[in-house]
Structure formats: structure tokens, C-alpha cells
Amino acid sequence: MRLRSLLLRWLLVPTLALWGLGFAVGYARSLQQANEAYDRTLLGSALVIGEAIGYVDGEVVVELPHAALDMLRTDAQDRIFYRVADGQNGATVTGYEDLPPPATPPQGNEPVFYDANYKDQAVRVVAVMHLLPTPAGPQRLLVQVAETLDARHQLTRRIVADSAAVQLLLIGLAAALIAFGVQRGLAPLARLRQEVRQRAATDLTPIATAGVPAEVTPLIEAINVHTERQRELSEAQARFVANASHQLKTPLTLLRAQIGHALMQTDLPAMRAVVAELDASTEATGRMVEQLLALARSEPGRLLAIEALDLAELAREISFEMLAVARARGIDLGLEADGPVPVRGERLLLHEMLGNLVHNAVVHTPPGSIVTVRVGRPDGRAGLQVVDNGPGIPPAQRARALERFHRLPAADADASGSGLGLAIVKEICARHGIELTLGDGEPRADGGRGLSVALRWPADDTTA
């Protein structure tokens, strides 16, 4: 349904309904006004007839003047009825004997108006009490004048018809003005629609709200928020493709070269040595793919599956997974955790983050080093710290160590890293509001300062 049609319907249909109600109220009001006008004329005729009543030779005589009935004559040719009767016994003096009397006789000079049915016609009747002087004292005479209602109804219909015609004309003019106003009011939306249609598929810039009605501005702002999310997702996908193509090109080339070298070998021991190198390269490439996927999952714009977690249990799980790697390299990997430490976050991302921290500490420290994972609430906030006594990272290079694909030179470190470990940790911390700090770890006898990576959860995440 078009907005213009909806607005016109909601504006015009109630207007027509109000016009119908006004027509009914106007008809009733006009009929009342017509009755008031004709009642005054009816009363005047009754008073004139009362003035024409006399007392002659002991009898009541009525010399009905023509003016009394001429007052009631109209173009509608209404029928006129009158009656003069004794106020005491109701005996008719003159006029229509069967004209219905009032239910309550008039008192004093106050007239009584009432509706009746006479000769199968609806009539309006006025009754007044007239005091006729006689030698024996005043005599009460009831004077009644009735007329049919054709003239009243014709006047009412004429008044209502004229009023309704004027109102319909005004409604028609109002409808035209409303339609024009709705069209002008929706013009900014039409321009906005044209602007959006003309945009390129890759144009995800916010829609300008200048010139847009204030009622539509929240909708445009919500669309802009959604568009910004789509832009972030699109940029994240583009970065993932660029990172994957950049990082996987060299390992895949190396794998093909190693496979070719293996195919050239003629004796089994030489082939086993090449296959061992091929296995190591495949494992490194697999980890790089896992890190690239983790980096893509940590990009802004994707909704997080937040749940309650035990940080101590998660650290214990990561430490157990890395235990075989640590033993193979001669690393003393330990865990210090005092009871459960509840936090909130996405389990998959937090698992990847802690796995990268422990893996980096294990593979980038020389054999015989010590790596310790500490979990607790030292300052009332959930925290985790991975400390080693390896070569560490100089303070001047710690900021760059968090950048993607940045590798630090280290004599004893494994040179097969991708430079994504700490970058992934940084992205996941940013998504969860976790404070990340790089500092000195455990010092070594040979001058190495070690490395400490400390994580602090927000204060409202310390309870599950």
C-alpha cells in the first residue's frame, strides 16, 4: 500500500464520517429551529383567534378573522385546524370537535405545544387558555390551532441541503489541499528514493537527512546504522580475502616445491626427510588458515554469541591442549588458578584468544623456558596473565607487535610465525571490551626480560 493513499484514506474517510454525523446533527437542529419559527406563528394565530371571541346574548361567539389563518398559509399547502372549547367541561364552541386536546391543560398565559396525529396526518398543535369576561365572571376557553408538518419538513430539508452542499464543497476543497499537501510533504521521500536508486552497488555512505521530515529522520538513521554494519562486513571480507591471498601464496608455493623435491628422491630415507619437512609446512599452513579465520570472526560488524563462562576452566583447557607442544620444546608450562572466575563472552573467540597467547609464549621462547598462565581477580576484576622468561619484546616495539603480519626478530624464536597471534588477541579484546597490556615478564640470567600479556575484563563482567 502506498503511503500517499494511506494518508489520504486516514484523512478523508474520517472527514466524510464527520460530515455524515454533522448532517444528522444539522438536520435535527434545523428541524428544531423550524419548529421554533413555525410555533411562534402558530401561537400568534391562536392569540388572534382568542381576541376574536366574544359574549353575545349569553352565548360565546367566535368571529374568526381571515388574518388568523392567513398567518399559517405557506407554499407547502399545509392544512390548518382549530378548535375553541369550554375550559371546564371541554364542550366544543366552534371548530373541529375531534381535534385532540393537550394531555396537560395550559396554566395561566403559558401556551402548550404538542405533537399529535389527526386525520391520519402528523400535526403540530398549540393550546392556550383564554379568559372571556362575562356578567357571571371570567370564563375559561381553550383555544387550539393545529397544522400539518409539510412546510416545516420542506424548510428543514432546504436548510440542511444548502448546508450540506456548502460542507461538501468545503470538503472537496480540503481534499484537494490535503492531496497537494501530502504530495508536497512526501516530495523529500521521492527525492531520497531517487538518490538511493542512482547509487552504485558499492556506495555504502550514509544517507543525508537534510531536508527530510523529522518523523522520517529516525528511520534514515536506522538505515544508516544498518548500512554502516554492512560496510564493516564488506570491508572485513575484503581484508580477509587480501590477507588470505597474501599469506597463503608463499606457503602454498613452498608446499608445491617440497612435493616436487620429494618426487625427485630415489631412496626412502631422503624421501622421509622431505616428507617430514612437508608435514611441518602443512601444519604451519593449517595454523595460519585457522588464524585467518579467527581474525575474520573477530572483525567488527559480526554479532557476538555472548554466554557465561568460567575463565579458569577455559585457561585450564587451553593449557592442557598446549601441553604436548610445550613438552616437545622443553617448555615448563604451568597454570595458577584459585577457583572459578566467571566472565561473559563468546566462547569460540575467547578460546582462540587464549590459545594464541599460550601458543605464542610456548613457540617464541627458547627451550628450557618457563611459561605461566595466571587467572584470578587481583583488583576485583576478572583477569588473566600469560608470563614467560623468554627474550620478551622491547618496550619501543610493543605497539607494533599488535599489528597484523608484523614479525619481531628474535634469535631463539620460531621464525615460522605468521604475525597474526597478538593481532588476533587485540581484535578479540576490542570486541569484548577487555583491557590488553604488554609488559615485562620474568627476567633471565642472560639479560632477557621476558614478556607479560595481561588481560582485564570490564567490571560488569566479573559476575556470571
Task: State the pLDDT at residue 213.
Answer: 72
- Whether 60 is covered by a domain: the verdict is yes
Residues 111 and 243 in one domain: no
Task: State the pLDDT at residue 414.
Answer: 44
- Whether 185 is covered by a domain: the verdict is no
Residues 279 and 358 in one domain: no
Residues 290 and 348 in one domain: no
Residues 290 and 401 in one domain: no
Residues 323 and 455 in one domain: yes
Task: State the pLDDT at residue 411.
Answer: 38
Mean local confidence (pLDDT), 345-372: 88
Residues 276 and 336 in one domain: no
* Helix or strand run (H / E) with residue 168: helix 150-197
Task: State the pLDDT at residue 2.
Answer: 66
Last residue of a domain, one of 106, 127, 157: 157
Residues 272 and 402 in one domain: no
Residues 147 and 233 in one domain: no
- Whether 391 is covered by a domain: the verdict is yes
Instruction: Find the domain containing 91 and state its range.
Output: 3-157
Residues 243 and 359 in one domain: no
CA 114 to chain centre: 60
Residues 257 and 327 in one domain: no
Q: How confident is the model at residue 29 (pLDDT cuts 50, 70, 90)?
A: confident
Q: How confident is the model at residue 413 (pLDDT cuts 50, 70, 90)?
A: very low
- Whether 175 is covered by a domain: the verdict is no
Which residues lie closer than 8 Å to 412 by C-beta, 6 or more apart? 365, 366, 390, 391
Mean local confidence (pLDDT), 220-231: 78
Look at the chain and report how many structural domains it folds into.
3
- Whether 212 is covered by a domain: the verdict is no
Query: pLDDT per residue over 123-142, tens digit each?
Result: 999 999 988 888 878 888 89
* Helix or strand run (H / E) with residue 289: helix 268-297
* Helix or strand run (H / E) with residue 206: none
Residues 261 and 387 in one domain: no
Q: How confident is the model at residue 4 (pLDDT cuts 50, 70, 90)?
A: low
Task: State the pLDDT at residue 445.
Answer: 65
- Whether 162 is covered by a domain: the verdict is no
CA 35 to chain centre: 55
Q: How confident is the model at residue 61 (pLDDT cuts 50, 70, 90)?
A: confident
Task: State the pLDDT at residue 418.
Answer: 55
Percent of the chain with pLDDT over 90: 16
Residues 259 and 324 in one domain: no
- Whether 210 is covered by a domain: the verdict is no
Query: pLDDT per residue over 160-183, tens digit each?
Result: 788 778 878 888 888 888 777 777
Residue 391 C-beta-side C-alpha neighbours within 13 Å: 17
Helix axes 347-363, 421-432, angle to 10 degrees: 150
- Whether 76 is covered by a domain: the verdict is yes
Q: Is the pLDDT of residue 399 over 90?
A: no
Last residue of a domain, one of 252, 277, 297: 297
CATH classification of the domain holding 445: 3.30.565.10
CATH classification of the domain holding 59: 3.30.450
Mean local confidence (pLDDT), 11-21: 79
Mean local confidence (pLDDT), 181-194: 75
Q: Is the pLDDT of residue 455 over 90?
A: yes
Q: Is residue 125 within 8 Å of residue 144, measured between CB atoms?
A: yes
Average pLDDT over the chain reads: 79
Last residue of a domain, one of 255, 277, 297: 297
Mean local confidence (pLDDT), 104-123: 89
